[in-house]
């Protein structure tokens, strides 16, 4: 195959090529990123990192604030029309549209003429993924600017002190969550972004067989206690999965009082009981079949994670109770690590002095409190899944 044929074959590849095969699509995406790295010269890589990507980010943020994405449709429009629709200077609009088209956010159909794309339509939803852009400008910009100096100042020591994480030095408050409480608009961006990226993700019972819990359930305690479970999304998925056949099973939702107050307004199945609880305190639900934690431990370094797990171990019944962790497992080989996972690990460090753990690190953490890793039930095409733990 000559170079022309190669380019032609590549131009015909898109998501539809892989149908429902998410695992292969993700492999292809990884190969595409590797291809860019092989094709770029070093100065081109720096140019992309320093100029193109940051500029595209600020352009998307500005276009969102202006209402450009909401104004774009499948009908071609030029910069003057979009300027009129948004009340902005058409010359400024034309410059922003050019950057958006170069970044494959919108589609150019003629000179100074554009239509919406699937991506720009998604960005036009104010309750959707665009909140990730707003969240980055709320928190990420400051962190990215200040973190190198922070690490230099601390002698390049790996942060592990949750009382004084990098976030405190950068943002002026030691608690990421306290900062959000003081900045409700930023908190709304964060929560809405998380909700938007979970839309379409399969519920956890679709890749973790609940028969693992139901078969030996004796009814003496709760079937599942969702520790730090927010407004009950994961427990609702569990209730839906077990169906009418097991409606007598007690499910318990735990979180801080303010979160439980919000959860009371949700339409949750009747077998879900709500309890205000701090997971560092003594666990009040004794002898549950399972204690479920969704992305809790990646917010904490090992010392604090051990304290959380210890409370669950002391509440559970040895040989009966399980701990079910919905978490990511960082691959040992870099070739298997998705960029988002590596970036999330750095963010956990900056926010909480915490980390994303490899299987070895998870096993070591569990062993340290006398728990046993049983199996990782991985969601296909993802590094996330369910870690089943026995007491």
Pairing of strands 272-276, 251-255: parallel
134, 189, 298, 351: the catalytic one is 298
Q: 321 and 287 in contact (C-beta within 8 Å)?
A: yes
Question: By CB neighbour count within 10 A (0-12 exposed, 13-18 middle, 19+ buried), where does 269 fall?
Answer: middle
Q: Would you give the DSSP letter of residue 116?
A: -
Q: Would you give the DSSP letter of residue 47?
A: H
- Residue ranges of the alpha helices (H) in 183-243? 184-198, 211-214, 233-242
- DSSP per residue over 290-334, as a string? EEEEES-GGGS-HHHHHHHHHHHHHHS-TTT-EEEEEEE-B-SSG
Query: Rounded to a whole number, what is the distance in angstroms from the first to the last CA of the chain?
Result: 57
- Cα–Cα distance list, 226 to 45, 191, 203, 255, 344 (Å): 44, 19, 15, 8, 23
Continuous segment of H or E residues that includes residue 147:
helix 141-153
CA dihedral for 149, 150, 152, 153, sign (positive or negative): positive
SS3 call for 198? helix
Catalytic residue at 135?
no
317's CB contacts (< 8 A; 6+ apart) are: 287, 391
Torsion, Cα of 318, 323, 328, 332 (10° steps): 0
227's CB contacts (< 8 A; 6+ apart) are: 254, 277, 279, 283, 291, 292, 293, 296, 308, 312
Burial state string for 373-389 with b = 16 or more CB within 10 A and e = fewer than 16: beebbbbeebbbbbbbb
SS3 call for 169? helix
Active site residues: 298
């Amino acid at each position: 195959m000559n170079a022309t044929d190669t380019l032609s074959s590549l131009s015909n590849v898109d998501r539809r090529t892989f149908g429902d095969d998410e695992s292969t699509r993700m492999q292809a995406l990884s190969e595409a990123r590797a291809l860019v790295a092989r094709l770029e010269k070093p100065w081109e890589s720096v140019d992309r990192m320093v100029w193109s990507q940051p500029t595209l980010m600020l352009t998307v943020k500005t276009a969102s604030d202006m209402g450009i994405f909401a104004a774009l449709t499948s009908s071609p429009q030029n910069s003057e029309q979009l300027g009129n629709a948004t009340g902005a200077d058409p010359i400024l609009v034309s410059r922003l549209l050019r950057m958006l088209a170069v970044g494959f956010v919108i589609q150019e159909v003629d000179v100074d003429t554009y239509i919406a794309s699937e991506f720009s339509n998604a960005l036009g939803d104010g309750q959707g993924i665009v909140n990730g852009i707003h969240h980055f400008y709320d928190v990420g910009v400051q962190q990215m600017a200040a973190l190198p100096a922070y690490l230099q100042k601390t002698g390049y020591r790996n942060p592990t002190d949750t009382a004084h994480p990098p976030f405190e030095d950068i943002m002026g408050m030691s608690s990421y969550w306290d900062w959000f409480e003081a900045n409700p608009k930023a908190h709304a961006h964060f929560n809405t972004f998380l909700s938007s990226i979970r839309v379409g993700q399969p519920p956890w019972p679709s890749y973790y067989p609940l028969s693992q819990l139901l078969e030996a359930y004796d009814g003496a305690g709760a079937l599942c206690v969702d520790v730090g479970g927010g407004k009950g999304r994961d427990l609702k998925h569990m209730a839906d999965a077990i169906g009418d056949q097991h409606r007598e099973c007690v499910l318990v939702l735990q979180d801080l009082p303010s979160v439980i107050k919000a959860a009371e307004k949700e339409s949750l199945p009747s077998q879900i009981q709500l309890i205000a609880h701090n997971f560092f305190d003594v666990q009040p639900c004794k002898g549950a079949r399972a204690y479920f934690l969704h992305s809790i431990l990646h917010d904490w370094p090992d010392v604090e994670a051990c304290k959380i797990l210890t409370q669950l171990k002391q509440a559970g019944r040895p040989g009966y109770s399980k701990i079910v962790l919905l978490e990511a497992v960082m691959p040992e080989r870099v070739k298997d690590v998705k960029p988002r996972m590596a970036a999330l690990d750095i963010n956990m460090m900056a926010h909480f002095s915490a980390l994303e753990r490899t299987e070895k690190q998870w096993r070591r953490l569990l062993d340290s409190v006398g728990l046993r890793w049983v199996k990782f039930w991985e969601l296909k095409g993802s590094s996330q899944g369910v870690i089943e733990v026995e007491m």
